[in-house]
């Protein structure tokens, strides 16, 4: 294919990256040298994809979910790679972490597209592009990307922001209102609907700020700001257990660095949103 962008191969098992014990935590996003992969996993299939941040190829491989992790190797949750990001940065698809996440997204998609969705024949890799190809009916399947919005709601009366505790969050962590785009819906409509459904508020001036590939399993997170327009906070009690207006002086526990939610919250804290 193209010139190599990095020599490492990303080896996945389930939601983990498998690396040698010698690989320091700070280097897991570089993958593992091919000769080491081939020494240990003799017949493993390698898949390739073009990088998106520079000309070149990214390589990955998957271990079966029941395959033992050999002595001298360890499985590190892919999400842990995000902790390598420094404060104030976010996943933007570039660099070793961006490439690791792209390989992870593609690894999962390959596992989920073993068979043609139309006729059930075993898929192959298309020779000319990153797609799965059915040899029987010719159907092509591309990596699925699910857009989701995440929004910081700012109250211009006092500069506060709405942060909410979702049942899925760690204890005491408050973050932003998020949800998936529905078929046939604009992203702005998704923002307004999710806010209405989850906390019962109406917003105005919905503005796009930044996006982030989030392959857990296949999202593209689209970060927005919105201004509070009307309504009283009513947490839906299903996803959102509690939601409140916070000022910069009364902050709860916040989501970790590397997420677009934290990026938006930091933007609000710095007064740039
Ligand atoms: Zn088919």
Report pTM: 0.90
Q: What pLDDT is stored for residue 88 in this prediction?
A: 61
Exposed / middle / buried, residue 39 (Cβ in 10 Å: 0-12, 13-18, 19+): exposed
Residue 257 has pLDDT above 90, yes or no: no
pLDDT class for 27, splitting at 50, 70, 90?
confident
In whole angstroms, what is the distance from residue 188 CA to residue 105 CA?
A: 26
C-alpha of residue 122 to centroid of ligand 1, in Å? 8
pLDDT class for 1, splitting at 50, 70, 90?
very low
Please check whether residue 158 is in contact with residue 247, taking contact to mean a CB–CB distance below 8 angstroms: yes
Q: Would you give the distance in Å from CA 148 to the centre of its chain?
A: 10
Q: What is the pLDDT of residues 60-94, one digit of tens each?
A: 999 998 999 999 999 999 988 777 776 666 677 78
Q: What is the pLDDT of residues 172-206, one digit of tens each?
A: 999 999 999 999 999 999 999 999 999 999 999 99
In whole angstroms, what is the distance from residue 161 CA to residue 181 CA?
A: 23
**Left, alpha or beta for 173 (phi > 0: left; psi -120 to 50: alpha)?**
beta
Lowest model confidence (mean pLDDT) among 36-50, 89-103, 111-125, 153-167: 89-103
> 81 vs 137, which has greater pLDDT?
137
Tell me what the pLDDT averaged over the chain comes to: 92
User: Which residues, chain by chain, have CB under 5 Å from ion ligand 1?
Assistant: 116, 118-119, 121, 134, 136-137, 139
C-alpha of residue 58 to centroid of ligand 1, in Å? 27
Instruction: Please give the span between the terminal C-alpha atoms of the chain, in angstroms, as a whole number.
Output: 42
Q: What pLDDT is stored for residue 8 in this prediction?
A: 92
C-alpha of residue 110 to centroid of ligand 1, in Å? 16
Q: What is the pLDDT of residues 47-58, one digit of tens each?
A: 999 998 888 999
Nearest-5° Cα angle at 238, 150 to 154: 35
Phi, psi of 267 (to 5 degrees): -60, -40
In whole angstroms, what is the distance from residue 230 CA to residue 219 CA?
A: 30
Cα dihedral across residues 180, 101, 88, 25: positive or negative = positive
């Amino acid at each position: 294919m193209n010139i190599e962008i990095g020599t490492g191969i990303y080896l996945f098992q389930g939601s983990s990256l498998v690396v040698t014990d010698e690989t320091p935590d700070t280097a897991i996003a570089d993958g593992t040298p091919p000769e080491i992969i081939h020494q240990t996993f003799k017949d493993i299939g390698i898949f390739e994809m073009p990088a998106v941040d520079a000309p070149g190829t990214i390589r990955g491989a998957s271990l079966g979910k029941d395959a033992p992790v050999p002595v001298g190797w360890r499985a590190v949750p892919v999400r842990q790679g995000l902790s390598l990001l420094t404060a104030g940065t976010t996943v933007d698809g570039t660099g070793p972490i961006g490439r690791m996440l792209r390989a992870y997204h593609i690894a999962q998609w390959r596992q989920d597209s073993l068979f043609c969705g139309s006729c059930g024949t075993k898929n192959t890799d298309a020779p000319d592009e990153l797609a799965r190809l059915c040899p029987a009916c010719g159907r092509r399947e591309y990596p699925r990307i699910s857009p989701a919005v995440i929004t910081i709601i700012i109250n211009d009366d006092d500069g506060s922001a709405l942060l909410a505790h979702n049942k899925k969050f760690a204890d005491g962590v408050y973050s932003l209102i998020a949800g998936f785009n529905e078929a046939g819906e604009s992203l702005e409509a998704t923002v307004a609907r999710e806010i209405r459904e989850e906390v019962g508020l109406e917003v105005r001036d919905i503005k796009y700020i930044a996006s982030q590939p989030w392959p857990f399993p296949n999202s593209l997170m689209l970060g927005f700001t919105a201004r509070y327009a009307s309504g009283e906070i009513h947490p839906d009690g299903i996803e959102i257990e509690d939601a409140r207006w916070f000022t910069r002086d009364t902050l709860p526990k916040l989501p970790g660095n590397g997420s677009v939610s934290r990026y938006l919250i930091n933007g609000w804290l710095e007064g740039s949103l």
